[in-house]
Structure 1
Amino acid sequence: MKLVNLRNEEIIAEHVNPAYQFFKRLRGLMFTADLEEGVGLHIKPCRSIHTFFMNYDIDVLYLNESNVVVAVDESFEPGKFGKVYADANSVIELPSGTISQTETKVGDQVSLER
């Protein structure tokens, strides 16, 4: 899937992998060596993340049911618990620097296109 910011028409990620089943959500990006530029992981349902067993920073978009960004975490470090966002329905984990590079912010609506 491709992730696009509908406000500025920026492509946030060319390849977003789904993590919709329990074990895919549980594993997430744990034990991966890195996250390549242009790649992301969409975890649904999800209201919070952790970065235990990861070796690199990530950017995180928290989305509501309408795919509106309700919160962001930039350069979220390994070994941390994230905040719980009650209005989040899913998260997208991205390479560190993606949020600022694409000028994505809270209130933007994004589209996941197949």
Structure 2
Amino acid sequence: MGKWRDGTGTLRVLGGGPGGDSAKDPDGDFGGGPGAGLESGPRGGPGEEPTGSDRGPGGGPGGAIPLEIAASYRARRRGLLGRDGIAGALLITPTNSVHTFGMRFPIDVAYLDRALRVIDVVTMRPGRLGMVRPRGRHVLEAEAGAMAAWGVRRGVRVTAVPNPEA
């Protein structure tokens, strides 16, 4: 599992997308390991800037979005089951597919590769089984409509900055 641990953190949406550096790697894998998208600070690598200005928690592209990280078997299995909503997003790692059986609300699901680049974004109603994404290594879940508001779309890269352990 590398550096991934259950806990909380901050999610940021970075630039990318069609015509960006996603075109450099035809399979979209970027060769990163389990912690490839973990950053020590709020910005990505050289030349990567947020897609918009900082607008506060969940306020749009580039803003700091509250994040829960589910890396253990138990946390991944539970996911968003039994909840009425989520403030922010849930990163499930490692996984390449999800389901919404037992869910109480529709969710947006972003499938991410090893480098935390978005492979696909779908909205799933409760009681559905998502397709397996073979290149997927992580899944980001949020309430329906949130991904569009944050600027999360195919080809965009996100970063996850874990909160320091207390």
| 2:60 is the alignment partner of 1:15 | no
SS at match of 2:156: coil
Q: Which one of 87, 101, 106 corresponds to residue 135 of structure 2?
A: 87
Structure 1: gaps spanning 5 or more residues: none
SS at match of 2:76: helix
What is the rounded CA distance, in whole Å, between the counterparts of 1:102 and 1:33 in structure 2?
A: 21
Cα distance, 1:13 vs. partner? Answer: 5.8
| Contact 1:43 1:90 (C-alpha < 8 Å) held by counterparts | yes
Cα distance, 1:18 vs. partner? Answer: 0.8
Matches within 5 A, 1:27-106: 27-36=78-87, 39-74=88-123, 76-106=124-154
What is the rounded CA distance, in whole Å, between the counterparts of 2:129 and 2:117 in structure 1?
A: 22
| Contact 2:101 2:128 (C-alpha < 8 Å) held by counterparts | yes
| Contact 2:13 2:151 (C-alpha < 8 Å) held by counterparts | no
The number of equivalent residue pairs is: 111
| Contact 1:48 1:83 (C-alpha < 8 Å) held by counterparts | yes
SS at match of 1:109: strand
Cα distance, 1:101 vs. partner? Answer: 1.3
What is the rounded CA distance, in whole Å, between the counterparts of 2:114 and 2:157 in structure 1?
A: 11
From the CA coordinates, give the structure whose radius of gyration is larger: 2
Worse-superposed segment, 9-18 or 61-70? 9-18
Cα distance, 1:103 vs. partner? Answer: 2.5
- Amino-acid identity (%): 29
Task: Tell me which stretches of 4 or more aligned residues in structure 1 moved more than 4 Å.
Answer: none
The CA RMSD measured in Å over matched residues stands at 1.4
What is the rounded CA distance, in whole Å, between the counterparts of 2:120 and 2:63 in structure 1?
A: 16
| Contact 1:58 1:93 (C-alpha < 8 Å) held by counterparts | yes
Evaluate the alpha carbon distance shift between residue 13 and residue 25 of structure 1 in structure 2; reply closer, same or farther with a 3 A threshold.
farther
